Amino acid sequence: MSRLSLLLSPVFVVAVCLWIAAQATTAPQPSPKVETLTATNDRHWYKGNLHTHSYWSDGNDFLEMIALWYRDKDYHFLSFTDHNTLAKSERWVDIGKVKAGEDAYRKLKERLPDWIEEREKDGKKEVRLRRFTEVSDKFGIPGKYLLIQGEEISDKFHTHPIHLNAANIQEQLPPLGGDSVYDVMQNNVNAVIAQRERTGVPILVHLNHPNFHYAVTAEDLMRVRGENFFEVYNGHPGVNNSGDAEHASMERIWDIVLTLRLTELNLPLMYGLAVDDGHAYHNIPSRASEPGRGWVQVLATELTPEALIASLEAGRFYSSCGVRMRAIGYRTDGIDLEVEPDDGAEYTIEFMGTRRGTSTESEPVLDKKGEPVHATRRYAKGIGEVFQTSKGTSAQYRFQGDELYVRARVTSSLKHPNPSEIDDPQRAWIQPVLGPAAK
């Protein structure tokens, strides 16, 4: 099916129209949120990664070996998100041609000698890539370890790469393109929503690494309907999480998006994910894109795609690159945080957000010649203001009455053992909640 025919198909149009109608009742999310996120007899913290690559696209290992890596490291769930493909067909790879082929083959042969399927073709050694269902059935453990089918829908606008992940996707979706960066995102988000509506299966869509090639600005992202998640932390060393002199960091983009969504666009909160974006599974640690750098901790009633996605969409999670939380308390009058401390670590807890009345005027970023740069615009410092800083393993923030939203960041004195960017600290990102001024 062509891109145009897909966009104009009755199923697609009806599904998207139903979703747009629903948005009028869901933006912004209810506030205040009253809930304590902590493990109980009925709810558990599940650690997982939502961005993973394998030999099915540009990773350098087999699905089964990647699944075992995460299982061995006590992860509870993992979503495979290869570029523009699902691991559903029969595919063989030439060990001499794929990245790290001989190394990956040797490790697979040692770990799973009775599982590997190989053949000689034209004098070359080939191995069959296992389908997702084969790997999930063999290595998943009900209630303990879950594998989720996903896709990185990899699109672009001119030279700007625009990638979105769809977790728990049922059918592969082709990139649809568009007339702008925003249009590309919206078209592909609409396609995911249409599949979700048609199948009745929950699918989580999120924007990947906005600062990869500095492709996506806050102004592009803030307007996308149905896209309420983005990667505030991506473990790939080449995605520019911290930005540079001309380009905003991921956290700065987050605060701008949150502020404009609440004050001008009447759209829901944007949640921030931490992910690996793993491609390289040998010679760890190195400066390659490796597993184990960023993850989400989701509080859910059970380890199923449905329960995990429901909790993610309700904001019952935090993102981390090392810091663990014991409890996150959302009260009518504020937020209470308690860290699960590591030996030798000291913690800084910051509460931040934007106050009612803060200017949302902006100006373009200019290069040395005075020409506008494709970058997030400059906004007032009051957007993303740090309201309170505390030291220790617990902190409480009480609303002053003029906050549009409040989020929190917990920073450890310990460095990340294998960071995305040199000298990254271990951190946790607590999801935003609406403040009193957003009512």
Domain boundary among 100, 130, 160: 130
Helices (H), 140-249: 181-199, 218-222
The answer to whether the predicted template modeling score (pTM) of the entire model surpasses 0.75 is yes
Assigned domain for 26 exists: no
Assigned domain for 427 exists: yes
Partnered with residue 234 across adjacent β-strands are 275
Residues 281 and 398 placed together within one structural domain of the fold: yes
Name which of 404, 424, 401 is nearest 255 in CA terms.
Answer: 404
Tokens for 227? 């896209």
Q: How confident is the model at residue 26 (pLDDT cuts 50, 70, 90)?
A: very low
Residues 303 and 434 placed together within one structural domain of the fold: yes
pLDDT of 33 above 90: no
So what's the pLDDT on residue 439? Answer: 72
Mean pLDDT value across residues 218-232: 98
Q: How confident is the model at residue 24 (pLDDT cuts 50, 70, 90)?
A: very low
Residues 215 and 140 placed together within one structural domain of the fold: yes
Tokens for 270? 């944007």
d(CA 300, CA 318): 12
Residues 197 and 281 placed together within one structural domain of the fold: yes
Domain of residue 151, residue span: 31-89+131-438
Mean pLDDT value across residues 45-71: 99
Residues 99 and 198 placed together within one structural domain of the fold: no
d(CA 385, CA 256): 11
So what's the pLDDT on residue 287? Answer: 96
So what's the pLDDT on residue 30? Answer: 46
Name which of 238, 143, 216, 164 is nearest 374 in CA terms.
Answer: 216
Q: Which of 16-25, 94-103, 200-209 has the lowest mean pLDDT?
A: 16-25
**Count of domains in the chain?**
2
Residues 426 and 377 placed together within one structural domain of the fold: yes
Q: How far is CA 301 from CA 75, 146, 304, 326, in A?
A: 17, 14, 9, 17
So what's the pLDDT on residue 9? Answer: 56
Tokens for 87? 């691991």
Q: Per-residue pLDDT tens for 378-437?
A: 999 999 999 999 999 999 999 999 999 999 999 999 999 999 999 999 999 999 999 999
Residues 64 and 81 placed together within one structural domain of the fold: yes
So what's the pLDDT on residue 1? Answer: 46
Domain boundary among 107, 130, 153: 130
d(CA 151, CA 172): 7
Q: How confident is the model at residue 16 (pLDDT cuts 50, 70, 90)?
A: low
pLDDT of 41 above 60: yes
Distance linking the first and last C-alpha atoms of the chain: 44
Task: Tell me what percent of the residues of the chain surpass a pLDDT of 70.
Answer: 93
Residues 99 and 228 placed together within one structural domain of the fold: no
So what's the pLDDT on residue 21? Answer: 45
Residues 45 and 120 placed together within one structural domain of the fold: no
Count of beta carbons in the 10 Å neighbourhood of residue 294: 31
For the chain, the C-alpha Rg in angstroms (whole number) is: 22
Mean pLDDT value across residues 213-231: 98
Assigned domain for 422 exists: yes
Residues 372 and 246 placed together within one structural domain of the fold: yes
Residues 213 and 111 placed together within one structural domain of the fold: no
- The CATH number covering residue 46 comes to 3.20.20.140
Residues 217 and 110 placed together within one structural domain of the fold: no
Residue 416 is given by DSSP the state P
